[in-house]
C-alpha cells in the first residue's frame, strides 16, 4: 500500500503504483516549464499529459516530478529517487534506477533501466542515458550516454565501462 504524507502535492492525472514511499514536500504532476516565442512575448504551452509512477518506487523529500507536455512523465518500477531531485516534463526513467540528491533532468530525457545518476548531476533536455550507465557526481551531461558506460566531468565524458554490480 502507498501512503502519501499530507505535505505531498498531487496534480492532475498522476498515477502512483503499489508499495511506494513518498517523502514530505514532494510535488507530483505540476505543469512543466514550456514556452514558445509568439512574435512579441513568450506564450505558455500546456502540459496535458500526466505522471506515471511504477510499483516500489521511493521518492525523497522535496522532489519535483512535472507532468508531460507530449507524453506522460514516467518513473519505472523499483526506482529510488533521493531528496531534492528535479524531473522535468516528458522524462522517462527506467526500472530500478538510482537518482541521487540534487540531480536534475531536463525535459524529454530518457533513462534506461538500472542507470545511476550521482549527486548533483545535470542531464540536459532531450538526451538518453543508456541502461546500466553511471553518471558521476556533479557531472553535466550534454550528449547521449551509451549503455554500460561511466561518465563524469563538466562537460561529462566517458571515463570507462561500468563494472558488473558496480554502484555508487
Report DSSP state, residue 140: E
27 touches 45 (CB < 8 A): no
Is 114 in the active site? no
48 touches 31 (CB < 8 A): no
Q: Which of 47, 72, 89, 92 is catalytic?
A: 89
DSSP letter string, 5-58: -TT-EE-TTEEE-TT-EE-TT-EEEE----EEE-SSSEEE------EEE-TT-E
Residues carrying an active site annotation: 89
Amino acid at each position: 500500500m502507498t501512503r502519501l504524507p499530507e505535505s505531498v502535492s498531487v496534480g492532475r492525472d498522476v498515477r502512483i503504483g503499489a508499495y511506494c514511499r513518498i517523502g514530505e514536500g514532494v510535488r507530483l504532476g505540476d505543469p512543466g516549464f514550456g514556452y514558445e516565442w509568439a512574435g512579441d512575448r513568450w506564450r505558455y504551452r500546456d502540459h496535458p499529459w500526466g505522471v506515471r509512477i511504477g510499483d516500489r518506487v521511493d521518492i525523497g523529500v522535496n522532489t519535483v516530478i512535472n507532468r508531460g507536455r507530449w507524453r506522460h512523465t514516467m518513473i519505472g518500477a523499483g526506482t529510488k529517487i533521493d531528496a531534492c531531485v528535479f524531473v522535468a516534463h516528458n522524462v522517462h526513467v527506467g526500472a530500478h534506477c538510482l537518482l541521487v540528491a540534487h540531480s536534475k533532468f531536463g525535459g524529454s530525457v530518457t533513462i534506461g533501466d538500472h542507470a545511476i545518476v550521482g549527486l548533483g548531476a545535470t542531464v540536459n533536455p532531450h538526451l538518453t542515458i543508456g541502461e546500466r550507465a553511471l553518471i558521476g557526481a556533479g557531472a553535466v551531461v550534454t550528449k547521449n550516454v551509451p549503455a554500460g558506460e561511466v561518465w563524469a566531468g563538466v562537460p561529462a565524458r566517458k571515463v570507462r565501462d561500468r563494472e558488473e554490480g558496480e554502484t555508487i
